[in-house]
Structure 1
Amino acid sequence: MAHVGFKERLSAVLGLTTFIVMMVDLFLIFIWVPEEKTLGAVQKIFYFHVGTAWVAFFAFFVVFLFSILYLKSRNSKWDRIAAASAEIGTVFTTVVLITGPIWAKSSWNAWWTWEPRLTTSLILWFIYVAYILIRASSTEEEKKARLSAVFGIIGFIDVPIVFFSVKWWNVSHPMVFDQGGMNLAPEMFITLMVSVAAFTLFYFYYLTKAAALFQARDDLRELKRKMRERLN
């Protein structure tokens, strides 16, 4: 019981910290940081776009890492973390695909162009939607976890492709970093770092909640199995 109480207190602290940092981030974005000279106010979506893209990449790295751990140990705890991270990462990738075209409309005067980063990001989204569908389609828990782990490991290959696509194909997609270093004003850099921190905390908070939900689901399934055995 003490262990449960500690986890609840830790979750509450993480939730409060996430809320505070997120409020600071919103203040910096909409009030403190100056508007970009060319794009104006619409450039502020940059902080949401980059912050959620970082979390999406990190979430799928967690899927990759814990899928490997599951295949090595067959410990269902690692599978639950991978599954929770995949669902959260898919949500963040959806936000990336929504905010990207809004930014693109102002930068390129087009909602969507089939340039490499946009295309590979869309492929990444399809990969992890397929991951979620795999988990939903199979009724055998061990088989589902094993197939999902393999798919999660293979699917992660697309993450570095998305990240390096701008350099590899030399396209016009906006970059946070250029060859001379950070291509941002100091206020923009600070706001971007706070935004990344805020979305990262947001990810970890909901990862703990989602993993706990998967744990409760598995406990309920095990309880039902034991009840059926007793009745038989």
Structure 2
Amino acid sequence: MKVKILAGLAVIALLVQQYMIWFYAPIAQSGPVQKIFYMHLPCSWWALVSFFVVFVSSILFLLKRNDAFDRVAGAAAEIGVLFATLALVTGSTWARAEWGHWWLWDPKLTTALIMWYVYAGYLVLRATPMGRDRKALVCAVLGIVAFLDVPLVFFAAKLWGSAHPDGLARQGSGMEARMWHTVFAGLISFGFVWGAILLTRVRQLGRQAELDARLVWDDE
């Protein structure tokens, strides 16, 4: 029921967000290509939230050794990598139109790419044929260590400067109120999407664990 409610809210919120992107938010000085920002930013923020959930769930797993926390960490990592991929794709599309290049080794972009590789490696580790308990333990440790890169992504623009639109926004680039309204609408709508996917995936992993346990019991 919770998933259905979140999914329904997500559909409504996404429709409202799209209306705000194309008809409410003004066209920026850089032109219509700036509207990619309203999709790029929510993907980036919810990717960071996902990796924070991996971090917290990994700590809780080490403290309590409850498989539920391992499943939450795994589901959050999958969603985080998905959203980080969308953030990199939309960011590259914006960069091609704005800078004339698909990629620049900007501090913000570089740390984000490193973060993507780290958590993609985390998912590869979760897919390896290893004992369940040992795998969960190793993944929990990696989930904690991997989070060290997340603050660097968040503060990269402030620490080293950046041509990234997030860095410009932090420096006061003159975004109008309607632009900020659209940004917040995107964060809310993607939050509903994130919540619906997370609950669904955690439930799937739980049922998979039950089936695996039954198979082991039957073999014995």
Give the TM-score, by structure 2 length: 0.96
1:59-70 mapped onto 2 (5 Å cutoff): 59-70=50-61
2:4 maps to amino acid = A
Distance (whole Å) between structure 1 residues aligned to residue 196 and residue 168 of structure 2: 26
What do residues 144-182 of structure 1 show as CA deviations (whole Å, max 9, x unaligned)?
1111111111111101101111121123222264345x8
Tell me the SS of whatever aligns to 1:137. coil
Tell me the SS of whatever aligns to 2:191. helix
2:18 maps to amino acid = L
- Do 2:81 and 2:120's aligned partners in 1 also have CA atoms closer than 8 Å? yes
The equivalent residue for 1:137 is 128
- Do 1:176 and 1:183's aligned partners in 2 also have CA atoms closer than 8 Å? no
The two structures, once aligned, show a CA RMSD in angstroms of 1.3
Distance (whole Å) between structure 2 residues aligned to residue 143 and residue 53 of structure 1: 31
Counterpart check, 1:16 vs 2:47: no
Residue in structure 2 matching 1:124, options 112, 115, 134 = 115
* Count of residue correspondences: 219
What do residues 51-84 of structure 1 show as CA deviations (whole Å, max 9, x unaligned)?
1000000000000000000011000000000000
Tell me the SS of whatever aligns to 2:27. coil
- Do 1:42 and 1:103's aligned partners in 2 also have CA atoms closer than 8 Å? yes
The equivalent residue for 2:64 is 73
The equivalent residue for 1:52 is 43
* Bigger radius of gyration: 1
The equivalent residue for 1:111 is 102
Q: Greater shift after overlay, 10-19 or 68-77?
A: 10-19
1:144-155 mapped onto 2 (5 Å cutoff): 144-155=135-146
Tell me the SS of whatever aligns to 2:127. helix
What's the offset of the Cα at 1:31? 2.3
Tell me the SS of whatever aligns to 1:114. coil
Distance (whole Å) between structure 1 residues aligned to residue 181 and residue 16 of structure 2: 11
1:79 maps to amino acid = D
The equivalent residue for 2:204 is 213
The equivalent residue for 2:215 is 224
What do residues 120-149 of structure 1 show as CA deviations (whole Å, max 9, x unaligned)?
111000001100000111331111111111
Identify if the C-alpha distance between structure 1 residues 183 and 64 changes in structure 2 by more than 3 Å, giving closer, same or farther: farther
Distance (whole Å) between structure 1 residues aligned to residue 42 and residue 70 of structure 2: 26
Runs of 4+ more than 6 Å apart: none
1:35 maps to amino acid = I
Structure 2 unaligned spans of 5+: none
Distance (whole Å) between structure 1 residues aligned to residue 113 and residue 206 of structure 2: 30
Residue in structure 1 matching 2:175, options 184, 194, 199 = 184
Tell me the SS of whatever aligns to 2:5. helix
Residue in structure 2 matching 1:28, options 3, 14, 20 = 20
1:45 maps to amino acid = I
Counterpart check, 1:89 vs 2:80: yes
Distance (whole Å) between structure 1 residues aligned to residue 212 and residue 161 of structure 2: 51
The equivalent residue for 2:147 is 156
Residue in structure 2 matching 1:195, options 186, 189, 196 = 186
What's the offset of the Cα at 1:103? 1.2
Distance (whole Å) between structure 2 residues aligned to residue 46 and residue 170 of structure 1: 19
1:86 maps to amino acid = A
